[in-house]
Chains A and B, each alone.
Chain A
Amino acid sequence: MTRPLLALRNLTVAAGRAGSAKIILDSVSLSLAPRDIVGVVGASGSGKTVLSKAVVNWLEPPLAKRSGEVLFEGRDIYAMGGADMRSLRQRISYVGANPMGALDPTLPVGVQIVEKMRAVVPGVSRRDAERRVVELLDAVRIPSARNRFHDYPSQFSGGMMQRALIVDALVTNPALLVADNVTQPLDVTVAAQVIRLMKELTTSFNTAVLFVSSSLPVAREACSRILVMDGGRIVEEQSTEDLIDKPVYPYTRELVRQTPRIWGEPAATPPLNDRREVVLSLRDASQIYKVRKKAGFGGVNLVRAVRNVTFDVRRGDSFAIVGESGCGKSTLMRLLCRLELPSSGQILCSDQDIAALKGKGLLAFRGRLQMVLQDPFGSLPPRTSIGKILEDPLRTHRWRDKVRIRERVLKVMGEVGLPAELYEELPLGLSAGQRQRVNVARALVLEPEILIMDETLSALDQAEQFKLIDLFQKLQKEYDLTYIFISHDLAMVRKACNRVAVMYLGEVFELADNERLFFDPGHPYTKALLSAMPTLEQRRYRPEECLLEGEPPSPLDIPDGCSFRSRCPQAMNKCSRVQPSLTVRERQDFAACHLIVPPAASGDTGAAHRTMRRS
């Protein structure tokens, strides 16, 4: 057997001073062979990030190594002097989870990578370093790498930035790459590209990867072998498939069991009939922002954030709006809850245009439609007690009787599972899950009919998400609520929603019932999303067939024709000329693609619109 590239022997890392030190890593041992990709999976707080930093000799106070050794090619990196360690930095690289914060915003990206290369590899001329960086930028498929070399970090998108950082790590041809949660901030399709890229790089650059991730499905995509961490210890190590089939340790079993399945389970939400009352209806709603041009004098760019969105939400629906970042979800959310008025089109709530509401009517609308916000920390005023936070909407809605207000608040707190003792507490000590419950309670306290969930669950861990989804379903039954989930997490959508709208660049690409969307998607973009989604199951859609390289075009200049054609594997000539409109596939299912042939086979798009109106 060959000597392992990296070996950890009983590594123990503690935080704080000797007397009251807290053990973060507890005798961790692992080994990594050259060209291996090994995953490290664990809940937040299990010591993953500390492990990844310990491996690259980057422990900062109060963290300190207690005992054990980190052997890199047989040599203990903690026993090395500064100069030796510096030359070793050529061979060990690190990529972190926060690509946007990792580079200096005042210097061009390429220059910074060249600088790093010249710092760790002595004797490289600037010209050689530049050539190498451009080569690598090309290799990670950054389009027109030579020009991009001189761009500043703010001109890179999140996915491109993460790839630039991978270049930064690979530029010295390292033997070991430590990737700490690299895909976490990225959209699924971009994350899938990055993982695919890393796998290719291991073979073409002879690099071993220690892939640290908080998500088991993501690690499964990337790794051949997975270590599970729990409370600072490595509790299980198996090859990926075995780990998923036969998890041994209780925490791993729980992890595998809780990971949502998309195709393996029947939908929890049966499709509902379409004769229910329409509570919210969008008619060609569009929102255009004017952005002042940076170059030249005057003039504005038009950002078409939401384009001609038309759909109906019926009473009792759990309607999901999914899409990647920048697809217009958040703008749509602002339109729906009337924080902004659409620049054209209408939004009807019970046949009333919400843009026309004023005074009393507006207040009544606010009482009917409420929203639960995304960020559990920013969405609660920090210095107001929880009781007061929940009383506030009631007071706004002209409740005057103190006793009744208190009763109502306590009742809602009970319903969402908040203990009554929290009434006089500040939101400070609360966990993210509890804060999100306060958010839900604040929305529920007015007894609304429609509840918009703006990425409500994305900040929570898996277990907490499940509890909240259960809570939502219970509340829905009890109060006949209508939910609109805005999300990028397809697994959550599969579990919680009965109807799904897929958005891309401000347009609705597909609108279908849960079952139909996941099993028989009509639009190539939906397929791409499904194929890119990390899951523990056998995929129905293979990323190789469904997903092309590249990122969504900028909303500043949306191409003519179909806006997805730059990434669509099935793009045809027609796609660059004619913009497809939502076409009926079946009674309630629509997709905007030229490949869809409506059941009437007339090919007449007007029919689709008529059906939309009727439904």
Chain B
Amino acid sequence: MSVTTAAGGPIAHKPAQRSIARRIFDKAASTPGFRVGLSIFVVLALATALYPELSSIDPTKMDVKARLLPPLFLGNNWSWAHPLGTDQIGRDMLVRSLVGLRYSFLIGVASVIVMLAIGCALGTIAGYFGGRTDAVIMRLTDAQLSIPMIILAISVLGVSRPTIPAIIVVLGVSNWPVYARIMRSIVMTERQREYVRAAKIGGSTDARIILTLLLPLLLPPVLFTSVLDVARMMIFESTLGFLGLGVQPPTPTFGNIIADGRKYLLNAWWIATMPGLFLGLTLTSINLIGASLERARNTVHGGGEG
């Protein structure tokens, strides 16, 4: 019997020789959601990167004559010089928001990375090796869960100086147990699968199986959910800033802008609102990108490629 023809099953695949990752990206890029998200993101990224420098406005420069100016076309004393108005001591809101976005975004992303790194590493190890390792790591997780975040933040940031790295570490350290638990449960089910056994027989070490087989398979869904946590972390940073434990003034972040604007909510609502607007825009764009990537990934991996 001719063996080469024997496999002639019903393969309806086109001879698509693009790699899987490439196909997922192409598929996602063809959806309107991805394009809208990406364009908002690019505009924001360019603005935060370039505008504060190009406009050469100092975000901390006070201008008492131009204090509490409203945004464009609102009220009667708006000006082109300050498109989003100014705050109570005449600082330009647009520049402050954009610079604040830099710090907030940096803090959000970095703390999520810290969180993922600790949580996924511990969760994967616990789930993969099981037994005593698992018990120790999971009790550690429980202990961590029992410490309220705010108390941890107050004790750490109150004792040391609230610098940006310290804030990132505190936020990351106080939120990893959730990821540890998720990773542990999915790794536990996945490690008993036959392909893991096949890899072992193929000579792979445990580290190799975890790094090249399990993580690429299990991390993407976790990453997509963690995008939402970037938003949560930015808000937490605002909370810390509000308590005075965030990034210290005069460096603008969303937290201390909002904290400042609180007192003027009635006569200058835009001070507290503008950071929120940028926060919303950033998160919408990230979520749009994330969601379309996720959907594309599911269709490609689900075989529904058209």
Contact = CB atoms under 8 A, between A and B. Distances in A.
Contacts of A417: 3-7
Given A422-B11, A423-B17, A426-B20, A381 B203 contact: no
Which of the listed residues A367, A419, A446 has the most CB atoms from chain B within 10 Å of its own CB?
A419
A379 B7 contact: no
Contact of A374 (B1, B194, B200, B216): B194
Nearest to A418: B7
A424 B16 contact: yes
Given A381-B217, A419-B11, A421-B15, A471 B3 contact: yes
A249 B263 CA distance: 90
Contact of A393 (B3, B17, B202): B202
A415 B301 CA distance: 27
A111 B197 CA distance: 41
Interface string A336-352: 01010000000000000
B201 interface: yes
Contact of B6 (A366, A380, A446, A471): A471
Contacts of A431: 9-10
Contacts of A418: 7
A289 to B, nearest CB: 15
A433 interface: yes
Interface residues of A, number: 50
Nearest to A463: B6
A373 B10 contact: no
B12 interface: yes
A367 B203 contact: yes
Interface in A381-433: 381-385, 392-393, 396-397, 414-419, 421-426, 428-431, 433
B203 A362 contact: yes
B195 A381 contact: yes
Contacts of B250: none
B199 interface: yes
Contact of B9 (A369, A379, A383, A434): A434
Nearest to A380: B195
Which interface residue of B3, B197, B216 has the most chain A CB atoms within 10 A?
Answer: B3
B203 A375 contact: no
A467 B217 contact: no
B303 interface: yes
B1 A339 contact: no
Contacts of A397: 203
Interface in B195-246: 195, 197-204, 208, 212-213, 216-217
Residue among B194, B204, B302 with most chain A CB within 10 A: B194
B303 A426 contact: yes
A333 to B, nearest CB: 10
Given A392-B199, A426-B20, A467-B3, A382 B208 contact: no
A165 to B, nearest CB: 29
B98 to A, nearest CB: 39
B295 to A, nearest CB: 15
Contacts of B212: 392
Contacts of B198: 371, 373, 379, 439, 442
A434 B7 CA distance: 7
Contacts of A382: 217, 301
A459 B197 CA distance: 18
B101 to A, nearest CB: 35
A378 B202 contact: no
Contact of A370 (B3, B16, B193, B202): B202
Given A384-B216, A424-B17, A446-B202, 18 more contacts: A339-B200, A369-B201, A374-B194, A380-B195, A382-B217, A392-B204, A392-B212, A415-B3, A421-B17, A422-B11, A422-B13, A426-B20, A426-B300, A429-B12, A434-B7, A434-B9, A439-B198, A471-B3
Closest 5 A/B residue pairs (Cβ): A366-B203, A379-B194, A393-B202, A417-B7, A428-B303
22 contacts: A369-B201, A371-B201, A379-B197, A381-B195, A381-B217, A382-B217, A383-B216, A384-B213, A384-B216, A393-B203, A396-B202, A417-B4, A417-B7, A422-B11, A422-B13, A424-B18, A424-B19, A425-B13, A434-B7, A434-B11, A467-B1, A467-B6
